Structure 1
């Protein structure tokens, strides 16, 4: 019974909010979200980003256009292009080449399969 009484009170309280006359001025005064819309309409201050293309790491560094040139620094071969920044490449170091190799323990090629 107590549950029904509480539900009835809540529904009457909600309906009284909807039944009273509301003017535009009273709506703006009462609703804090409508008062602060000016802040939300201002342009957002976003950080400026500088787009930089990094080096592509390759085993075989190649020239991709006539403006690309090769440079050797710290035991690596670099391809640098002043006109197309996306052509930048650098080679693996010898230690990286050994990390990326795989040891094949067994390989067989025959016309008859063992299974």
Structure 2
């Protein structure tokens, strides 16, 4: 699968697309196939190395994505294969074709939802928190 990674901090030139193995969900996780990625100012700050939180390098970028569940780990209830979801949380790693994520970071979405619009929801949460 493809993923968006940085090996060093810097400008847009440090961003690269790499091939990595598709993960399998651990117990308590779901595997989500990406449809749309969110991109916000924190992603830019992280890439340049000035964000407060900095993961170990190399690092896959991104904190939010929308897509459909491809597989369900053992012990997971309330999620089904094919279900549309929003994945949102700190820690990066979302800008990849597939994400194995803890269900605490996964929000089920209505079947008819526009996945491109849904991935913008976290931006509204930031604005609301600032009020």
Do they fold alike, i.e. is TM over 0.5?
no
Higher helix fraction (1 or 2) = 1
Structure with the larger strand share: 2
Structure with greater contact order relative to length (CA < 8 Å, sep ≥ 6): 2
Bigger Rg over Cα: 1
TM-score (norm 1): 0.18
